[in-house]
Amino acid sequence: MKTSTRRITPIVILTLCVSIGYADILFQDDFEGKNALLQRVIDETKWMPIPSWKLSDNEDNHPVLGRKVLDIWGHGAGLSVAEFPEEFDFYADFKTMEGTGPGSVANFVFHAQEGELDPLRLIQANGIYNHYSAKIATEGAKYWPQHITWGIHFARKRVWRVWPVPFADKQNRKRDVWYRVKFEVRANHQFHAYLGEVGADLNELIFVGTWVDHEKRFARGKIGFFLGGNIEWGWGERAQFDNIMVTTPGFLSVAPSGKLPLTWGELKQEQRD
């Protein structure tokens, strides 16, 4: 029995360590996944993509972005398949682009919840979701450049309520430049946003804004991205995204060397395959 116990114990300990170490990563995607034909595609086990979603080449050649990035040109909200709890941290790399129309914005969605059904199916499936949003407007935006605009969207009522506030650090962010963002989604409907250069360590991200929904509308739901307009209608906002990660609060910490945990670096391992 003693021999058997010695053999089993390390396995049990290893299993516990793995489950504890990775249980706090709720979601991640770097848009480098491949299908059975080895083509890079949007993973529909993770996302409910809308027609304007596509994968584009990493034309900026930044090493943290890999070969492909998610390119969105208008058409509303694309959401995750999974729902997320009341509290989490949401990381992403993004680049605002000119598009046609207002342009130069990247809009992130939280706590998207299915609203009233559309019996006539007049709107696409993802369009029935109510949600919170945070729109980052950079240089070149028509409305509120150098602002973060917190919003509430009621889909069936076609109502937006928005609260634009200047970046707290007063820095200017440029269009066609990649940045890293962190959103802290917290209990009591509190939201905090931090920005830095793409590839930045956590201690290099700068606080840029906060907002509280005192009416406490949506407690949990899906994440995603919202870009307004539609190129087929003559205008549409455009942005690119990469390196999406959702964790439980405070999971990613900065090591003494100033580097993020290995889990972040592993996101781009496949680019060398």
The residue ranges of every structural domain in the chain are 26-272
φ/ψ bin of 250: left (φ > 0), alpha (ψ from -120 to 50), beta (otherwise): left
pLDDT of residue 235: 82
| Tokens 């369009």 found at | 127
Torsion of CA 264, 265, 270, 273, to 10 degrees: -170
Asked if 115 contacts 95 with a C-beta cutoff of 8 angstroms, the reply is: no
Count of other CB atoms within 10 angstroms of residue 53: 18
Can you read off the two tokens belonging to residue 79? 């959401």
Range 26-272 classified under CATH 3.40.50.1860: no
Asked if 207 contacts 28 with a C-beta cutoff of 8 angstroms, the reply is: no
| Tokens 């964790």 found at | 247
* Rounded-to-integer distance, Cα 119 and Cα 27, Å: 32
Distances (CA, A) of 131 to 70, 94, 100, 241, 263: 21, 20, 25, 19, 29
Can you read off the two tokens belonging to residue 29? 């995607």
Measured in whole angstroms, how far is the alpha carbon of residue 93 from the centre of its chain? 8
* Rounded-to-integer distance, Cα 93 and Cα 82, Å: 20
Phi, psi of 181 (to 5 degrees): -125, 145
Tell me the pLDDT of the chain (273 aa) as tens digits: 444 444 433 333 223 233 334 448 999 999 999 888 778 999 999 999 998 999 999 999 998 999 999 999 998 899 999 999 999 999 999 999 987 777 899 999 999 998 765 554 444 555 678 999 999 999 999 999 999 999 999 877 667 899 999 999 999 999 999 999 999 999 999 999 999 999 888 889 999 999 999 999 999 999 999 998 877 777 889 999 999 999 999 887 654 444 445 455 555 554 445
Q: Which of 179, 182, 27, 207 has the alpha carbon at shortest distance from 91?
A: 182
